Chains A and B, each alone.
Chain A
């Protein structure tokens, strides 16, 4: 029997090749698609596993510190510390550390924003000590919000160079009379050339004069207006602008922070904080020798703010120079000087980084800076729009709160902080030092600087807010992105602004008391906060759980258990392992300094993303694998069934010669098995180059799987047609291969003839349609799952990364499936054509031209394609619905598009059979008939 089967294979090469081709395509596709599917899953899970764990596993906060938006959306806001000044006691911190399973508990306690002014040098081209009297003007324009906010004339500095001697003020200083550096006039009198303070005191802090200052230089005596800069001066003349830099001060545990983000590893100058660092008594360097509490701080080397001062350096004429000798009424002098034109010498820019670098130098030189007051900007409030977008709520600006401090005064009046002019989104609570004479003032002393970029903050795709990065806030629409020039909206000098800077100064937990002790800083009477930061100073605790290796079930259970125990302590706990940043849309109303309203997206943290992705990828892999298997099986079934049908006559003859049905079926199956082995082996070999072209790696073992798969599929697919053929009576041998329809249906044209023809071979037509349906269904499911990815994980960075990486191979696999389906349709049409060759020959013989004949073939393909595509689209949507994925209009359009493409492609695929039709030997076919 095997010999007969081999003879069939050998002596009917055309049929064998056709069958082998069908199985070959299916098995090669099977191996390659399986490879693609597996690669896709491995890639996806690999990406997820590598990015599942951020810097910490749990975020512990005071219960009241969580916003409603976080709770309802399963998110953790990016500036989770914003406005959270304390709430967790040190005793609770101890309890957290004592919980079994807690490996690291890293507390962070926000103290407040400390403002420090620094004089930043600006070169004055051409200025010389050797020349006559010279007066230069530095006009400063503040630019921030990526250039969207602009304040011209925020500061006007004058630099006066005189050959006459200068001397510092040595007389008494009274509030009601001017004082400053003195210049000796030609008549020998000493006149105030550089007033140290505006006099008379201005009533309007925003008046241009308020923001002006004088520096005086002389060969015989350099007299800088600010003594702390004196040591740096040499004979090169430098102008200065005043920079008001806010620093968010926070306390951390150096040991825990080292374990969490390797803080010591990021130290660039000086040393890291240690557990031994605590406030120590000191005295001021000036003549007052007032007592201080020296608080060791680690300063960030990176300025997070995007403030830029555009400085225009001008040289003023003799008329202006003459005004410098007019005495101590500085206000009157400035009123005269400011409108005078000057010769522009240069335009230069000073940014936050330059100011921070300068501050670092000054801190080191002076041994530290006293903190006489600090501010506590509160959280931003949002309203929720109909589309779930958040709109930041502006609050009334309260400049008095910033200016009425008991210890404020002269310096601030020279340089009005930007936040006094801009829109406020946060209420600001001010805490002033009680009395520097009776109670020591804290003085922050720099032990070193750290570079936040060198911290180990965990994988980018699962980056958690660690308080070392400014919250990434970027444009959510084209307009906003263009306005922000593709950059993020960064914090700025406005501490009440929308984006808050992360802590720039870090001290130890022991350092908190210097700021929270009500003896030093009594609570603000206007504050509505019920949190006693003295007893509950900790804002949040970031916890790493012992034994967690990723998002495997054991790790997840460990994290869950610890979370449960921490919640029992009365704290709010968010499980952040497996989280990923996800954009949350916010609307930011226009600012008062020119920034228009912006549509923003900021990366909040979506919890549990990794687990969702792994589940989705698993479901997708299973779905893809099943569909691949199905579409390949259908293709083989079609080919095998056609092969058996083609042997109908032979089988009828053998039956009439006495062969039993079982023997006939066995012979057919033996032939199919033989072809299956051949095609499987060929498919295994072919899958290597195909996979190589597709950039996939196929193992020999997987390729070898093609042989049993093809054989098994061929036999399985051949069983039903073989048994049916074997049962056929011998009369089948003389009946035409394609029988007539059950009953005649009227035929009105080529199209209805195509319909009639398909009805004659319903099984085969449906098989072809089913193959295409599987491909289209796969496409629909893929589209659905892709949309589900976007929906379920809300476009998190991790989800996007996985989707982008996976989508390529998935799409390739599904396109291949659709192609296989289209191949099946073409195959069906071709088989129909081959079996009805006599009919086509007859139609041609009786006068049908090539046009109608081709249309007839194309219509058959089109119809199968239409049925298959519609069925596939319907089935795909059904599966999508089963997966609980919402069927959105986008998905409907995508699926409808797939159906249309599938239909048209199936019709187009009949081109090959149509070409075969043209080569049909009419006479021979009619003669054979």
Chain B
């Protein structure tokens, strides 16, 4: 158990059933001013994440393997910002990848709201991934696409109940990139690219955002801006956020911190 939520928020139903774009309530957020994230009222609150006995091992050679997750138990309450810390190779990214369903665990369960992630089919997994937001350390934008198209990428080939372009434009404005929708972010600074990445993570009205070293490639000033963006998300939309980071500043501002060493949770609080 990792702390409690700082605010009382309504308990969400299953995460797959509660993604924002399915209730059509987000269009009002179009009027949000820059740097203002979606109002909490727009969305259901953040997701609750429960991890039990999570294990993941990578086999490098027939003789050598690395234990990236070794019986991890944790619970993240809705609306919490949790910092996952630990040395390089300790398993921080693996934990986020497992929760984000980018990887499948060898053992254990991951329950996000009512959804048991480890048991999902391939198509359900894709749907689950669209329902959460993932922010990568190296942004992982598609270099050929404009900022606007990068933001709409997760829902590019899927029907939505919102206008993708309008929402992407709003999100870009909210992360401070208004007016640069048509530009190629691959030529921008790291901070700007990470903002696009965050906007992309928000396109599907996620109730859970997983950020893997979001400031790892950024200078401290830019890193602070990105952190502010993420904190704002929690504050305004009640989104649950898990951040893997080396940055002590982030850990200090999180609701809770999990420290991982060699795939094990060595401390939380």
Please indicate the chain B residues that have their CB under 8 angstroms from the CB of A846 in the complex: 129-130, 134, 153-154, 200-201
| Complex partner residue of A740 from B155, B186, B204, CB under 8 angstroms | B186
Q: Is the CB of B182 within 8 A of A744?
A: yes
Asked if A798 lies at the interface with its beta carbon under 8 angstroms from chain B, I say no
Please indicate the chain B residues that have their CB under 8 angstroms from the CB of A753 in the complex: 145, 156
| Complex partner residue of A746 from B97, B136, B146, CB under 8 angstroms | B146
Q: Is the CB of B144 within 8 A of A757?
A: yes
Asked if B149 lies at the interface with its beta carbon under 8 angstroms from chain A, I say yes
Asked if A760 lies at the interface with its beta carbon under 8 angstroms from chain B, I say yes
Contact with A along B123-138 (1 / 0, CB 8 A): 1001111110010101
* Chain-B contact segment, one of A227-235, A469-477, A589-597, A919-927: A919-927
Among B123, B140, B152, the one with the most A-chain Cβ atoms within 10 Å of its Cβ is B140
Contact with B along A885-929 (1 / 0, CB 8 A): 000000000000000000000000000000000000011001101
Contact with A along B35-66 (1 / 0, CB 8 A): 00000000000000000000000000000000
Which residues in window 149-172 of B have CB below 8 A to A?
149, 152-158
Instruction: Give the shortest distance, in Å, between A739 (CB) and chain B (any CB).
Output: 6
Q: Is the CB of A927 within 8 A of B143?
A: no
With A846-B200, A847-B129, A929-B138 known to touch, is A738 a contact of B143 (CB < 8 Å)? yes
Q: Is the CB of B102 within 8 A of A743?
A: no
Instruction: Give the shortest distance, in Å, between B57 (CB) and chain A (any CB).
Output: 13
Instruction: Give the shortest distance, in Å, between A592 (CB) and chain B (any CB).
Output: 77
Asked if B183 lies at the interface with its beta carbon under 8 angstroms from chain A, I say yes
Asked if A275 lies at the interface with its beta carbon under 8 angstroms from chain B, I say no
Q: Is the CB of B126 within 8 A of A847?
A: yes
Asked if A207 lies at the interface with its beta carbon under 8 angstroms from chain B, I say no
| Complex partner residue of A847 from B131, B143, B144, B145, CB under 8 angstroms | B131
Asked if B122 lies at the interface with its beta carbon under 8 angstroms from chain A, I say yes
With A845-B134, A847-B204 known to touch, is A743 a contact of B140 (CB < 8 Å)? no
Q: Is the CB of B156 within 8 A of A750?
A: yes
Please indicate the chain A residues that have their CB under 8 angstroms from the CB of B25 in the complex: none
Asked if B11 lies at the interface with its beta carbon under 8 angstroms from chain A, I say no
Asked if A659 lies at the interface with its beta carbon under 8 angstroms from chain B, I say no
Q: Is the CB of A923 within 8 A of B97?
A: yes
Asked if A692 lies at the interface with its beta carbon under 8 angstroms from chain B, I say no
Q: Is the CB of A849 within 8 A of B126?
A: yes
Please indicate the chain A residues that have their CB under 8 angstroms from the CB of B100 in the complex: 845
Instruction: Give the shortest distance, in Å, between B198 (CB) and chain A (any CB).
Output: 12
With A753-B156, A848-B157, A923-B94 known to touch, is A842 a contact of B126 (CB < 8 Å)? no
Q: Is the CB of B102 within 8 A of A747?
A: no
Contact with B along A706-739 (1 / 0, CB 8 A): 0000000000000000000000000000001011
With A746-B146, A926-B140, A927-B93 known to touch, is A847 a contact of B103 (CB < 8 Å)? no
- Docked Cα-Cα span, A847 to B100, in Å, equals 10
- Docked Cα-Cα span, A736 to B158, in Å, equals 28
Please indicate the chain B residues that have their CB under 8 angstroms from the CB of A851 in the complex: 123, 157
The chain A residue sitting closest to B56, CB to CB, is: A923
Please indicate the chain A residues that have their CB under 8 angstroms from the CB of B158 in the complex: 847, 852
Please indicate the chain A residues that have their CB under 8 angstroms from the CB of B94 in the complex: 923
Instruction: Give the shortest distance, in Å, between A612 (CB) and chain B (any CB).
Output: 54
With A744-B183, A926-B140 known to touch, is A848 a contact of B146 (CB < 8 Å)? no
The chain B residue sitting closest to A924, CB to CB, is: B58
Instruction: Give the shortest distance, in Å, between A920 (CB) and chain B (any CB).
Output: 11
Asked if B1 lies at the interface with its beta carbon under 8 angstroms from chain A, I say no
Which residues in window 831-859 of A have CB below 8 A to B?
838-839, 841-852, 855
Asked if A460 lies at the interface with its beta carbon under 8 angstroms from chain B, I say no
| Complex partner residue of A922 from B102, B131, B186, CB under 8 angstroms | B102
Q: Is the CB of B129 within 8 A of A926?
A: no
- Docked Cα-Cα span, A750 to B154, in Å, equals 11
Please indicate the chain A residues that have their CB under 8 angstroms from the CB of B183 in the complex: 744
| Complex partner residue of B156 from A749, A760, A844, CB under 8 angstroms | A749
- Docked Cα-Cα span, A922 to B93, in Å, equals 13
With A842-B142, A847-B126 known to touch, is A743 a contact of B184 (CB < 8 Å)? yes
Instruction: Give the shortest distance, in Å, between A925 (CB) and chain B (any CB).
Output: 10
Please indicate the chain B residues that have their CB under 8 angstroms from the CB of A757 in the complex: 144
Please indicate the chain A residues that have their CB under 8 angstroms from the CB of B143 in the complex: 736, 738-741, 760, 839
Total interface residues in chain B, CB < 8 Å: 40
- Docked Cα-Cα span, A747 to B187, in Å, equals 18
Q: Is the CB of B102 within 8 A of A923?
A: yes
Asked if A480 lies at the interface with its beta carbon under 8 angstroms from chain B, I say no
Please indicate the chain A residues that have their CB under 8 angstroms from the CB of B154 in the complex: 846-848
The chain A residue sitting closest to B129, CB to CB, is: A847
The chain B residue sitting closest to A756, CB to CB, is: B144
Please indicate the chain B residues that have their CB under 8 angstroms from the CB of A850 in the complex: 122-123, 126
- Docked Cα-Cα span, A749 to B160, in Å, equals 13
- Docked Cα-Cα span, A750 to B149, in Å, equals 11
| Complex partner residue of A744 from B145, B153, B155, CB under 8 angstroms | B145
- Docked Cα-Cα span, A929 to B141, in Å, equals 11
Please indicate the chain A residues that have their CB under 8 angstroms from the CB of B129 in the complex: 844-848
- Docked Cα-Cα span, A757 to B145, in Å, equals 9
Instruction: Give the shortest distance, in Å, between B169 (CB) and chain A (any CB).
Output: 13
Please indicate the chain B residues that have their CB under 8 angstroms from the CB of A927 in the complex: 93
Q: Is the CB of A923 within 8 A of B103?
A: yes
- Docked Cα-Cα span, A845 to B204, in Å, equals 13
The chain B residue sitting closest to A922, CB to CB, is: B102
With A740-B186, A923-B97 known to touch, is A855 a contact of B145 (CB < 8 Å)? no
- Docked Cα-Cα span, A591 to B131, in Å, equals 86
Please indicate the chain A residues that have their CB under 8 angstroms from the CB of B157 in the complex: 749-750, 848, 851-852, 855
| Complex partner residue of B127 from A743, A838, A847, CB under 8 angstroms | A847
Instruction: Give the shortest distance, in Å, between A856 (CB) and chain B (any CB).
Output: 8
- Docked Cα-Cα span, A744 to B149, in Å, equals 9
| Complex partner residue of B126 from A740, A744, A848, A926, CB under 8 angstroms | A848
Q: Is the CB of A842 within 8 A of B156?
A: no
Please indicate the chain A residues that have their CB under 8 angstroms from the CB of B182 in the complex: 744
- Docked Cα-Cα span, A736 to B146, in Å, equals 17
Please indicate the chain B residues that have their CB under 8 angstroms from the CB of A845 in the complex: 100, 102, 129, 134, 136, 140
- Docked Cα-Cα span, A740 to B157, in Å, equals 21
Which residues in window 339-356 of A have CB below 8 A to B?
none
Please indicate the chain B residues that have their CB under 8 angstroms from the CB of A743 in the complex: 184
Please indicate the chain B residues that have their CB under 8 angstroms from the CB of A926 in the complex: 97, 102, 136, 140
Instruction: Give the shortest distance, in Å, between B200 (CB) and chain A (any CB).
Output: 7
Kindly list 14 other residue pairs between chains A and B, CB separation below 8 angstroms, not including A744-B145, A749-B157, A852-B158: A736-B143, A738-B143, A740-B143, A741-B184, A744-B149, A759-B144, A845-B102, A846-B129, A847-B130, A849-B127, A851-B123, A922-B102, A923-B94, A923-B97
Q: List 24 A-B contacts (CB under 8 A).
A: A740-B144, A743-B184, A744-B183, A745-B146, A746-B146, A747-B152, A749-B156, A749-B157, A750-B157, A757-B144, A838-B140, A839-B142, A841-B140, A842-B136, A842-B142, A844-B102, A845-B129, A845-B140, A846-B134, A847-B130, A849-B122, A849-B123, A922-B97, A923-B102
Q: What are the nearest 6 A-B pairs in CB distance?
A: A847-B130, A849-B126, A740-B143, A744-B146, A852-B157, A847-B129
A residues at B contact (CB < 8 Å): 736, 738-741, 743-747, 749-750, 753, 756-757, 759-760, 838-839, 841-852, 855, 922-923, 926-927, 929
